[in-house]
Amino acid sequence: MTMRFIYHHRTAGRGAEGNHIASLVRALEAAGHPVTLVSPPGVDPLKTAGGVPLDKGATKPAGIQGLWQWVSCHCPQIVFEMLELGYNLYVLFRLPPVLRRDRSAVYYERYAFFLFAGVLLAKWCGRPVILEVNEVTGIERARGLIMGWLARWSERKVFARADKIVTVSSFLQQQVLQRGGRQGGVYVLPNAVDPKRFGVNGSGRAIRRQLALDGSTVVGFVGWFDRWDRLELLVEAVRDLRQTHPELRLLLVGDGPVTRELRAKIQREQLADAAILTGPIPRDEIPAYIDAMDICVLPDSNPFGSPLVLFEFMAMAKAVIAPDLPPIRDVVADGETGVIIPRGDVRLLREAIRTLTEDAPMRVRLGQQARRQVMERHTWEVNARCVAELAKEVTPGSDREER
């Protein structure tokens, strides 16, 4: 059964969120489900997704995109939150014509703080609503939050009115249920990967030659270098292991706010000859860099998000070490599709890297099983199929026997 969607979001459409939006929209359309994408003025994630975070430092958006970036970077927090709240006025003018034009479409929205007009309008028009939740109030937000009371009020309003809610982690699922989500109506749908872009094809051989990594065991990380990634732990673990495993090399792909501190730490630890920081890398080149790695590590992460790069590591059949967090355990089975270690424990991180360095067959086994699981459960095609099934359940008159 063909479903139609109106997909509304309030993001810049350029980073991980843009990649998520564009990937799901394309997968829905590839499955025969037309999507009308409603974005902020000047934003089109179908064109800009993937530009950041990995090459964020090299990206200079122009026009209204540049204005949004300036606002995000330079506005006082209270002003920024007022603009987020004011976006509801734009929604009141932008959405009604779209809702009238496509009266059979399911309304799908990516939840954002202070955003409530879209869900309320869709319900007022009698449309089924599916809400995608990637964060909630009360957890760490990079920008902070001043008007928390208002964000919480808005959150409860939209959670209570959504027919179905999909969250990217079990942690968020529990949070949504505590904040007004309907029992039985909140689902976990982690992030995913495009197997056409991330596959085992030997593309890393050229990178290994280019970076003089042949003969080395390469431990790597890919992403936007933020404080919650705890990359200093990875540096310390490799520093210690190099004393007995001189073949170890560290490959850090990306850029971010802690890059300068990271470079300084590498110098202090006398790892300059063993560590490579690539700087910003275009998104299309990332698969080759992942393929150049033997062991892929997420030293830490936030407790609620579903890291896109985790699925990319697994899709490329890499042995993964990741922190013990609900979003990780939603995807990784310890000892079967990866290695899970306690957060912040540099000793156990070091031991996990040591084990995988010394046991190449184990690396291969974990990587192959990880890829198999991702191909079966965590592609954008699978996610699109799940969203379409939920849409059928909330659409009056849909024939569930077709499922």
pLDDT in tens, 276-294: 999 989 888 999 999 999 9
Above 90 in pLDDT, residue 70? no
Indicate whether 199 belongs to any domain. no
Do residue 287 and residue 349 come from a single domain? yes
pLDDT value at residue 64: 60
Indicate whether 87 belongs to any domain. yes
pLDDT value at residue 12: 85
Query: Mean of the pLDDT values across residues 73-82?
Result: 85
Structure tokens, 322: 């990741």
pLDDT value at residue 72: 67
pLDDT value at residue 324: 97
pLDDT band (50, 70, 90) for residue 57: very low
Largest CA distance in the chain: 68
pLDDT value at residue 68: 61
Above 80 in pLDDT, residue 171? yes
CA distance 222 to 18: 17
Distance of CA 44 to the CA centre of its chain: 18
Do residue 25 and residue 173 come from a single domain? yes
How are beta strands 106-110 and 5-8 bridged, if at all? parallel
pLDDT value at residue 203: 86
Of 47-51, 83-87, 304-308, least confident by mean pLDDT is 47-51
pLDDT value at residue 58: 47
pLDDT band (50, 70, 90) for residue 54: low
CA distance 390 to 403: 10
How are beta strands 164-167 and 129-133 bridged, if at all? parallel
Do residue 225 and residue 299 come from a single domain? yes
Which is more confident, 163 or 142? Answer: 163
Indicate whether 262 belongs to any domain. yes
Query: Mean of the pLDDT values across residues 319-348?
Result: 96
Of 15-24, 101-110, 378-387, least confident by mean pLDDT is 15-24
Of 58-67, 94-103, 161-170, 243-252, least confident by mean pLDDT is 58-67
Above 80 in pLDDT, residue 51? no
Residue type, 359: D
Domain count, the chain: 2
The CATH number linked to 266 is: 3.40.50.2000
Structural domain that includes position 246: 204-377
pLDDT band (50, 70, 90) for residue 76: confident
Above 50 in pLDDT, residue 223? yes
| Mean pLDDT across the chain | 91
Do residue 139 and residue 211 come from a single domain? no
Residue with tokens 């990206």: 59
Share of the chain above pLDDT 70, in %: 92
Do residue 179 and residue 297 come from a single domain? no
Give 42-98 as a DSSP string. T--HHHHTTSTTTTGGG----HHHHHHHHHHHHS-HHHHHHHHHHHHHHHHHHHHHH
Rounded to the nearest 5 percent, the helix, strand and coil shares of the chain are 45, 15, 40
Do residue 133 and residue 272 come from a single domain? no
pLDDT value at residue 348: 97
Above 90 in pLDDT, residue 264? yes
Do residue 165 and residue 286 come from a single domain? no
